[in-house]
Amino acid sequence: MAILSKPDVPRFSVDVYQNEYLPEGAGEVNAVVTVTASGGGTLKGPAFAGGHGGHGERGGGDRAPDAAVVIMVDCSGSMDYPPAKMRGAREATAAAVDTLRDGVRFAVVGGTHVAREIYPGEGRLAVAGPDTREQAKQALRRLTAGGGTAIGTWLRLADHLLSTADVTIRHGILLTDGRNEHETPEALTSALEHCAGRFTCDARGVGTDWEVKEVTAIASALLGTADIVADPQNLAADFTSVMETAMGKGVADVALRLWTPAGARLRFVKQVAPSVEDLTDRRSEAGPRAGDYPTGSWGDESRDYHVCVEVPPAGIGREMLAARVSLVVPRPDGGADSLGAQGLVRAVWTDDLAASTSIDPQVAHYTGQAELAEAIRQGLEARKAGDADAATAKLGRAVQLAGLSGNADTAKLLSKVVDVVDEAAGTVRLKTKVAEADEMTLETRSTKTVRVKRRPHES
């Protein structure tokens, strides 16, 4: 395996948090793996040059950016009701274009029941610069509402455009305001399967007439973020920040590689921060006893993963490597480039009950955060189904968990859906009147997690 040594590729580090001690006969090993990428020279667009990008020798524009971005804007008829949505979408796209770093390839796609190239057209990508940015913004006037919604076609066009560029980072930004009504769900699923691993994509829903599950499914399949922008006025700010993040990516197609010993069973692999994303079913085999789990592209950032392995129990006093965690960029030829860092998840059998019964604070925290996301999902589903008792119980548990773990953002979102009687006990009453935007915001953001306050000396 070669080691990537490009100067602008972030350096990765892996930290493992676990209680490795198991009682006799036990085999379940839990660990939280923190992956941190740094030193990638995160850059901002021209408007932000001189900000906190930091690395002077990599000033914006000096280096040909190795990225391509396609912005997909919903142009279905509903975008004109109210007209603020179409206006907001145009302004947001203009803001995103302004945030493009010089040299980045880009295109704008208008989406209805078919996908249409708005800029530059003819199946090409433009190269960001003062002229092309201006031309693109002029072309946005052609973003007009009229037609249906078939998101699969937008994604396939984006994929086609992105595939014309020989770049490291391929990214999409997708905005929709309605349900995917003009193609079958299978068509969207098949488009997502086609695009998965070819580019990453952030998805945004504007207004409240879109389907949370569709938008989160797109972001999940394409390893991007999902969010709601209920008020079209806030779109520009959101697109700016999404594009800034995209511009900061330095390495794509990173996979979390897990080796586990013979006889072991990987029970689950979840990203748990910044949001919960179950990766267990996305394994691709990578040699004997090893599998790769896709994590998409990375800039300077840190993510946490919860790994749960069942190993064959061994005798008291024995020690076993339960998992070896590393980061790789798989190559098309079946090989992989190592990103250097690795972490060891261990199992040590002991008859010291004090040691084997304690739970690592990180593992406990993220177990709680995953349960929180699940409680919100189940609670909202029960509420929609009219099962008030189940909804009250689940959302009450969610309020309790959010309070316990200090997830203030989620607690605040919950308080717009339920009246909290007693946070510690998880006693709540369902609100009789809930704004649709509040419920959708809670649903969309239910998987957002907070980290344990740790390593205070670092802050």
Partner 1 sequence: MTADQHRLSVCPGCTEPVEPADLFCGACGLDLSAAAAPAADTPTVALQTRDDTPSAPSAVPPPAADPGTDSFTLQPPAPRSADPREAGAAAPGGQACVACRAGRVDGDGYCENCGHAQPRERDHMEQESGPVAAVSDRGLRHHRNEDAFALAVATLPDGTPASVAVVCDGVSSATRPDEASAAASRTAADTLCEALPRGTHPQTAMHEAILAAARAVDALAGEPAEAREHAVQQNAPACTLVSTVVADGLLVVGWVGDSRAYWVPDDRSAPARLTEDDSWAAQMVAAGLMSEAQAYADERAHAITGWLGADSYELDPHTVSFKPDRPGVVVVCTDGLWNYAEAAEQMAEVLPADAATRPLHSARVLVGHALDGGGHDNVTVAVVPFPGPAKGAGSG
- Figure out which of the listed residues 344, 364, 393, 437 binds partner 1, where binding follows CB under 8 A: 344
Does position 95 interact with partner 1 (CB under 8 A)? The reply is no
Considering the complex, state which of residue 52 and residue 455 has its C-beta at the smaller distance from partner 1: 455
Does position 318 interact with partner 1 (CB under 8 A)? The reply is yes
Query: Would you tell me how many other CB atoms lie within 10 Å of the CB of residue 124?
Result: 14
Does position 13 interact with partner 1 (CB under 8 A)? The reply is no
Does position 351 interact with partner 1 (CB under 8 A)? The reply is yes
Considering the complex, state which of residue 15 and residue 28 has its C-beta at the smaller distance from partner 1: 15
Does position 261 interact with partner 1 (CB under 8 A)? The reply is yes
Site for partner 1 in 297-316 (CB under 8 A): 311-312, 314-316
Does position 289 interact with partner 1 (CB under 8 A)? The reply is yes
Strand partners, 229: 206
Considering the complex, state which of residue 288 and residue 332 has its C-beta at the smaller distance from partner 1: 288
Task: Calculate ∠ Cα 111-114-120, nearest 5°.
Answer: 60
CB of 250 to partner 1, least distance (A): 26
- Figure out which of the listed residues 19, 34, 176, 220 binds partner 1, where binding follows CB under 8 A: 19
- Figure out which of the listed residues 154, 210, 239, 349 binds partner 1, where binding follows CB under 8 A: 349
Does position 264 interact with partner 1 (CB under 8 A)? The reply is yes
Select from 122-130, 189-197, 231-239, 343-351 the region that touches partner 1 (CB under 8 A).
343-351
Does position 263 interact with partner 1 (CB under 8 A)? The reply is yes
Considering the complex, state which of residue 314 and residue 430 has its C-beta at the smaller distance from partner 1: 314
Long-range contacts of 132-136 (CB under 8 A, 24+ apart): 132/106, 133/97, 133/98, 133/100, 136/97, 136/106, 136/108
Distance CA 197, CA 69 (A): 15
- 189 CB contacts (<8 Å, ≥6 apart)? none
CB of 321 to partner 1, least distance (A): 4
Does position 130 interact with partner 1 (CB under 8 A)? The reply is no
- Residue listed under structure tokens 């593992």: 363
Query: Would you tell me how many other CB atoms lie within 10 Å of the CB of residue 310?
Result: 16
Query: Would you tell me how many other CB atoms lie within 10 Å of the CB of residue 238?
Result: 21
Distance CA 109, CA 126 (A): 12
* 262 DSSP assignment: T
Does position 189 interact with partner 1 (CB under 8 A)? The reply is no
* Among the listed residues 402, 306, 312, the one whose alpha carbon sits nearest the alpha carbon of residue 359: 306
CB contact at 8 A, 40 and 6 = no
Binding positions for partner 1, rule: CB under 8 A: 15, 17, 19, 259-264, 289, 311-312, 314-322, 344, 347-351, 355, 358, 455
